[in-house]
Amino acid sequence: MRPISEEDLTTRARIRDAALGLFAEQGVKATTIRGIAEAAKVSPGLVQHHFGSKEALRRSCDEYVLAYLRDQVNAGITEHNLEKPEFIESVHRTAPPLMKYLGRALVEGSPAAATMFDDLVRLTEEHLASDEPGSDDDHRARAAVLTAMKLGITVLHEHVSRALGTDMYAQQGALRVSKAQLDLIRPEFLGRDLFEQARTGLEKYEGQR
């Protein structure tokens, strides 16, 4: 087997990104290999060379989005980057196409969307905290509901954007949505330290706009 060249990796990523956009906009069923090839500016044969089939390409998109979400949770929470405006800027810049894809996948009932939802619930549950040691709070239920609320905004992004009068994935819209989400969450729910990190990061980021 020949080694994968840097050019192959770039082409593969371009095809994947084109598929992400079309799957999010049109849904998987309405999207064709030819349409993906046109969006990526490659031949249909090259799409099939890299991915084999539309279903395999969809799975690759699923894996990419799930890996992105895990990386962002790890970088933001585990590595304590939530209070850094450059981290927030990076998320606001890179997340929109992936979140739109996830929103469509949730609506279409993709098996991978179920996996992503469950994974986000698990990650959220791990990071929920109580100010009272020994509390019997049902973190599983809270994590499931919080995840559903956050992803619900993604599914309804067109309506949220209309209500705000601006694209919620654009810079100013994303900032407004992030601040509103934080305003609706009690500090005790996330843990005081995590809550303050998030608040500080948003304030610093807003101050740079």
Q: What is the pLDDT of residues 88-144, one digit of tens each?
A: 999 999 999 999 999 999 888 877 788 888 988 888 887 775 444 555 578 889 889
Residues 164 and 182 in one domain: yes
- Confidence band (pLDDT; 50, 70, 90) for 55? very high
Residues 99 and 189 in one domain: yes
Residues 60 and 41 in one domain: no
Q: What is the pLDDT of residues 180-202, one digit of tens each?
A: 988 888 777 777 787 888 888 88
Query: What range does the domain containing 65 cover?
Result: 54-207
Residues 29 and 80 in one domain: no
Residues 144 and 195 in one domain: yes
**pLDDT at 4 > cutoff 60:** no
Residues 118 and 194 in one domain: yes
The values of phi and psi at residue 186, to 5°, are: -70, 140
Kindly state the DSSP code that residue 101 receives in the 8-state scheme.
Answer: H
Residues 85 and 43 in one domain: no
Residues 191 and 108 in one domain: yes
Residues 203 and 100 in one domain: yes
Instruction: Say what the pLDDT of residue 142 is.
Output: 85
pTM for this one?
0.82
Q: Which residue has the tokens 């992936």?
A: 98
Residues 33-38 have a mean pLDDT of 96
Q: What is the CATH number of the domain that holds 31?
A: 1.10.10.60
Residues 59 and 25 in one domain: no
Contact 133, 195 (CB under 8 A): no
Cα 65 versus chain centre, distance: 7
